[in-house]
Amino acid sequence: MALKRTVAVGAVALAVFSLQPGGAQADGRPGQGVVGGVPAQQGEFPWMVRLSMGCGGALYTRQIVLTAAHCVDGSGANTSITATAGAVDLNSSQAVKVKSTRVLQAPGYDGNGKDWALIKLAKPLDLPTLKTAGTTAYDSGTFTVAGWGATREGGGQQTKLRKAEVPYVDDATCAKSYGSSLVPAEEICAGYVEKGGVDTCQGDSGGPMFRKDETGAWIQVGIVSWGTGCARPRYPGVYTQVSTFAKDIAAGAASLGG
């Protein structure tokens, strides 16, 4: 429970970040999000979306963003969110901005697991979508994460997209760190358990964790959800297990009109 309270504090901090214009890094250095990563290339992850409350997301359809439940306030009509897409640099003239019209927060979300939500956009974006895993077949191996969040614990939000690779961590190992705060059927962990050093961090929430399928196409297996600090040894990142919710997400997207 104490761990979950840590997550809630992170979400509040994010709201504060999102009120700061420009997304300048707190310590004044130039940089990009995700701990221990490198800059993403323009067009490398074309379905990546930055949300104005300070979260990430991925295009599930051209008009629906898949993000984390803890990034939104609830379900219903909502025109307060701006999605920015189409550019690694949020300040680039290539960046496309579109408002939300509706939000669907995972039914039954109470801060413990079920950390997914859908945001319907005012108009479809002319960008590729990210396929989601419908089975556990891809819930292993090495994953890629990307985001505009902090590059270290307590660091500022970034204007340029950053990426990193993190290995799968099995539930038993992850539960050694997080005990009953982990919901194994609904969450999948990733990171370097012994060394730490690479992780998502505050502001990356809602963004995708993904890998290649056997055809070489990117497939989403996780949604950035929570962790104790960022990139700490013995505290891997915890992600919503997309395969668990694939049917619910599809039904939710259909209810938003696709």
What's the CA gap between 174 and 184, in Å, rounded?
9
Q: Which residues share a beta bridge with 189?
A: 169, 238
User: E strands along the chain, which residues?
Assistant: 38-39, 48-51, 55-61, 64-67, 76-77, 82-85, 96-105, 117-121, 131-132, 142-147, 162-169, 187-190, 208-212, 218-226, 237-241
Dihedral angle computed from the Cα positions of residues 129, 126, 202 and 90, in that order, rounded to the nearest 10 degrees = 150
Question: What is the per-residue binding string for ligand ARG in 132-151, x denoting contact by CB under 6 A?
Answer: -----------------x--
Q: How far is the CB of 10 from ligand ARG (least distance, A)?
A: 4
Q: Please, where are the H alpha helices in 86-191?
A: 171-178
Q: How far is the CB of 152 from ligand ARG (least distance, A)?
A: 11
Assess 201 for contact with ligand ARG (CB under 6 A).
yes
- Residue nearest ligand ARG by beta-carbon distance: 227
Contact by Cβ (8 Å): 179, 228: no
Rounded-to-integer distance, Cα 257 and Cα 253, Å = 6
- Known active-site residue 27: no
200 binds ligand ARG (CB under 6 A): yes
Binding ligand ARG by CB under 6 A: which of 14, 81, 83, 130?
Answer: 14
Active site residue 140: no
Among 61, 129, 158, 202, binds ligand ARG (CB under 6 A): 202
Does 203 engage in binding with ligand ARG (CB under 6 A)? yes
Given the residues 115, 139, 199, 204, select the one marked as catalytic.
Answer: 115
Of 100, 177, 181, 205, which is the active-site residue? 205
Using CB under 6 A, which of 86, 156, 237, 252 touches ligand ARG? 237
Looking at the Cβ atoms of 56 and 252, the one nearer to ligand ARG is: 56
Which of 139, 186, 187, 204 touches ligand ARG (CB under 6 A)? 204
| Residue 205 interacts with ligand ARG (CB under 6 A): yes or no | yes
Q: What's phi and psi for 138, nearest 5 deg? A: -105, 10
Nearer to ligand ARG, 15 or 38 (CB): 15
- Residue 100 or 200: the one with the smaller Cβ distance to ligand ARG is 200
Residue 192 CB, shortest distance to ligand ARG, in Å, is 12
Answer for which of 34, 224, 249, 253 binds ligand ARG (CB under 6 A) is 224
Q: Which is nearer to ligand ARG, 88 or 230 (CB)?
A: 230
Helix, strand, coil in percent for the chain, rounding step 5 = 20, 30, 50
Count CB atoms within 10 A of the CB of residue 207: 34
Q: Is 80 among the residues known to form the active site?
A: no
User: 15-21, long-range: CB within 8 Å, 24+ apart, which pairs?
Assistant: 15/53, 15/54, 17/54, 17/156, 17/157, 17/202, 17/203, 18/52, 18/53, 18/54, 18/157, 20/156, 20/157
Q: What residues are labeled active site?
A: 70, 115, 205
Residues that bind ligand ARG (CB under 6 A): 7, 10-11, 14, 149, 199-205, 224, 226-227, 230, 237
